[in-house]
């Protein structure tokens, strides 16, 4: 899956955890106002006094920029009046920040927030899945693994491909990290009554099964 790229417009390259969209696999490039060259890139303007860029008025493409850390309502209104896409207080969380940025870019439909994996609903911003209204409590890599399999249900995904796309590794490691994560994922799925969801493929790798009945029919036809 492709995740958005945005500019972190601040004196400091350090992004506070509450605004850090890298936690959900966005790319945040630190910029100190070369924004004229990237007018249509999403941007987050750090409005905290110690981190605010002195040349923020030179910012181009303001309609795609969200200012964060703006606690004064009058300042928020002023920034909106100057063409900024949004202005938010200091306590905004990255889940809401990401949603507002996607709305600005008109990309709400380009990158789905949710994806179905059989009876499990995967939520991209919460980095977790739920069944019957209960969260599974997935580890980030367990979530990415299940999301990747859910993108191509019923199709075998090789171990090498999973390591490349989920772990970002170009070679097979000496450890059995993939198998361990699959085992932990299945254990959490079992608690929700759907441990059948992730199957080991006879030729190696794994695939997502959409329902127990579909799996039974597949086995019968084989």
pLDDT for the residue numbered 113: 73
Are residues 90 and 119 both part of a single domain?
Answer: no
Please tell me the distance from the alpha carbon of residue 196 to that of residue 172, in angstroms, as a whole number. 26
Could you tell me the residue range of the domain that residue 98 belongs to?
A: 5-105
Are residues 124 and 81 both part of a single domain?
Answer: no
Report which of 41, 56, 47 is spatially closest to residue 76, judged by C-alpha positions. 47
CB atoms within 10 A of CB 133: 6
pLDDT for the residue numbered 39: 54
Q: Which residues of the chain have pLDDT under 50?
A: 35-38, 216-217, 219-222
The answer to whether the CB of 68 falls within 8 A of the CB of 47 is: yes
pLDDT for the residue numbered 176: 84
Burial class (CB in 10 A: 0-12, 13-18, 19+), 166: buried
pLDDT for the residue numbered 221: 36
Q: What b/e sequence results for 40-74 when a residue is b if at least 16 CB atoms lie within 10 Å of its CB, and e otherwise?
A: ebbbbbbbeeeebbeebeebbbbebbbbbbbeeee
For residue range 151-202, what is the model confidence (pLDDT) as tens digits? Answer: 999 999 999 899 888 887 766 666 688 999 999 999 999 999 998 999 999 9
CATH of the domain at 49: 3.40.50
* DSSP character string of 15-55: PPGGG-GGGGT-EEEEESS-GGGGTTSEEEEE--TTT--TT
pLDDT for the residue numbered 111: 59
CATH of the domain at 180: 1.10.10.10
Global pTM reads 0.58
CA angle at 111 for the pair 106 and 112, rounded to the nearest 5°: 110
């Amino acid at each position: 899956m492709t995740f958005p790229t945005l500019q972190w417009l601040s004196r400091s390259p350090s992004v506070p955890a509450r605004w850090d969209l890298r936690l959900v696999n966005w790319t945040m490039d630190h910029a100190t106002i070369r924004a004229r060259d990237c007018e249509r890139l999403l941007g987050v303007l750090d409005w905290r006094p110690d981190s605010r860029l002195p040349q923020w008025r030179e910012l181009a493409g303001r309609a795609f920029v969200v200012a964060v850390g703006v606690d004064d309502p009058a300042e928020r209104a002023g920034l909106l009046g100057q063409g900024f896409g949004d202005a938010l207080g200091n306590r905004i969380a990255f889940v809401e920040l990401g949603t507002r940025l996607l709305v600005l870019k008109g990309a709400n439909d380009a990158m789905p927030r949710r994806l179905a994996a059989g009876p499990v609903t995967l939520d991209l911003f919460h980095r977790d899945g739920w069944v019957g209204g209960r969260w599974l409590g997935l580890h980030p890599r367990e979530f990415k693994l299940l999301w990747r399999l859910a993108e191509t249900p019923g199709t075998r995904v090789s171990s090498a491909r999973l390591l490349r796309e989920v772990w970002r590794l170009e070679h097979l490691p000496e450890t059995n990290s993939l198998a361990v994560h699959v085992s932990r994922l299945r254990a959490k799925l079992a608690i929700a009554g759907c441990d059948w969801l992730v199957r080991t493929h006879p030729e190696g790798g794994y695939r997502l099964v959409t329902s127990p009945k579909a799996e039974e029919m597949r086995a019968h036809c084989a």
